[in-house]
Structure 1
Amino acid sequence: MLRRLALTAVTSFAVLSAATPAATAVTGHLPLPLPLPVPGLQGDDATRKTQLTVTVSDSGDRTADGVYELKCLPSGGSHPVAHQACDRLAELAEPAGDGRNPFRAVPADTMCTQQFGGSATARVTGTWHGQRVDAAFDRTDGCEIARWNNLRPVLPNVR
């Protein structure tokens, strides 16, 4: 996404630079437009802010169950693998990812394999790249298992 924003900004600048001499030849000197901030390039971390509370229950692993805080940019909080979790969330936010919000629920009309992945549940609340998050996770069918696994290591490795 940052690359796309930077490319748009550079292209817009090039177009404006080419158009300005032609406009001044006809109308005289025009005031130059004020530069607009480009998110991500001006240190605007508000659009990339990630601060999540992850609550895991019934995972079968007492060390994985609990409530964890995860902060990114910089990585921190009480999450046991905060740096790796932040790297994964950043990867999911990039255009090279699948382009979908990993916290979005599985659509109701989706056909999923009927398999049980265990009784583990998780709830993730907070902010991911400036977007509000309030998502519930379980492992009740193939779609939910895949959704959980997509967020590892934000969510623990459960078998």
Structure 2
Amino acid sequence: MLRNRLPGSLLTAGAVMLCLTPPPAVAGTDMNAPSVLALSVVDEHRGTPARRVTLRCDPTGGNHPFAAAACPQLAEVDGNFTRLNVGPHPQCTKEYAPRTVSASGFWRGRPVSHRAAYANSCLALAATGSIFRF
């Protein structure tokens, strides 16, 4: 009779162990991983080559002129450019001078890619703060 109970007892013990084992880590942000992004701005109306910079966060660096302001803005939205909310928008003119911004790289170990077009530089800066201010 003991023989018949042993396999069931082992199964029960295994089920209990599974319940006590923490779930595997979900893939996502690694707070210790550095963030490195290649950023570019194209002024479509001028037909000039793209301006490009590198932004490093954690630690702050790269050749971005406002890295100390851009990194906290990205940290606030965990590197998700679509969630940027830089505050009240200034009154921009209705001038049509299209500007395209793009970013690619890694935010705390997670791949990031973003591209957006704005009617002019005022609207682009209003939407992205210091991130694309170069």
TM-score range, shorter-chain basis?
Answer: 0.5 to 0.7
Q: 1:118, 1:140 within 8 Å by CA — same for their partners in 2?
A: yes
Question: Number of matched residues?
Answer: 98
Structure 1 residues 128 and 117: alpha-carbon distance in aligned structure 2, compared to 1, 3 A threshold: farther
Residue correspondence of structure 1 range 6-155 to structure 2 within 5 A? 45-46=32-33, 49-58=34-43, 66-93=51-78, 101-103=80-82, 118-140=97-119, 145=123, 149-155=126-132
Unaligned ranges ≥5, structure 1: 1-32, 94-99, 105-114
User: Which structure is richer in relative contact order (CA contacts within 8 A, separation 6 or more)?
Assistant: 2
**TM-align CA RMSD:** 3.8
What is the TM-score when the length of structure 1 is the normalising length? 0.47
The structural deviation recorded for 1:53 is: 0.4
Unaligned ranges ≥5, structure 2: 1-19, 84-93
Structure 1 residues 117 and 74: alpha-carbon distance in aligned structure 2, compared to 1, 3 A threshold: farther
- Separation of aligned partners in 2, 1:60 and 1:82: 27
What is the TM-score when the length of structure 2 is the normalising length? 0.54
The structural deviation recorded for 1:70 is: 0.3
- Separation of aligned partners in 2, 1:154 and 1:59: 19
Larger strand proportion of the pair:
2
Larger Rg: 2
